[in-house]
Amino acid sequence: MKVLYILIAFLIVSCIKETRSDSYTYIVNNTAHNISIMAYYNGNIEPSLSANIAPQEQKIINYNGGLGSTDIAGGFSYGAILGIMDSVLVIFDNKDSISHYNTQLIGGAKNFYTYDSARNLYNRNNYVHEIAEHSSKKVVHHFIYTFTEQDYLDAKQ
């Protein structure tokens, strides 16, 4: 009889599904300029975190998903993923650029956004965070960062 109880308990536990958390980061280019985003690690470009975005284009730049909490305050934005990078260089039309720095300034870029800037890619607060799907078993986060003409003007200075 004990074996039957153990078997029933095992079957009940094995039927409990894991929770899943997926995060998508979208970059929206609301400018009239081509944008290249280059993430640097130890002075080298990290291709998996770099992208080119055409004028008026929206692109998924990062996906992070798997087993995890369904807490709607969670999720990983592109900014969180960038955390280990040295810096991010954003170039408009292969000409004008601006650096985005994490909490520590490195390098000597002429134009840059500090972490506190409302335009910095590292700072999670600079992304619109939407919950695209939420249930007891799954949550889907969308993080949206939008480049504007002001970003271009800041790079052009």
Using pLDDT thresholds of 50, 70 and 90, give the confidence band for residue 93: very high
pLDDT at 108 over 80: no
How far is the C-alpha of 125 from the C-alpha of 112, rounded, in Å?
A: 18
- For residue 15, the model assigns a pLDDT of 52
Using pLDDT thresholds of 50, 70 and 90, give the confidence band for residue 157: confident
pTM of the entire predicted model = 0.82
- For residue 104, the model assigns a pLDDT of 75
- Which pLDDT tens digit goes with each residue over 13-63? 455 567 888 899 999 999 999 999 999 998 899 998 899 999 999 999 988
Kindly list the domain boundaries of the chain, sorted by start residue.
19-156
Return all residues near 1 (Cβ < 8 A) that are at least 6 apart: none
- Which pLDDT tens digit goes with each residue over 115-142? 999 999 999 899 999 999 988 898 899 9
How far is the C-alpha of 71 from the C-alpha of 74, rounded, in Å?
A: 6
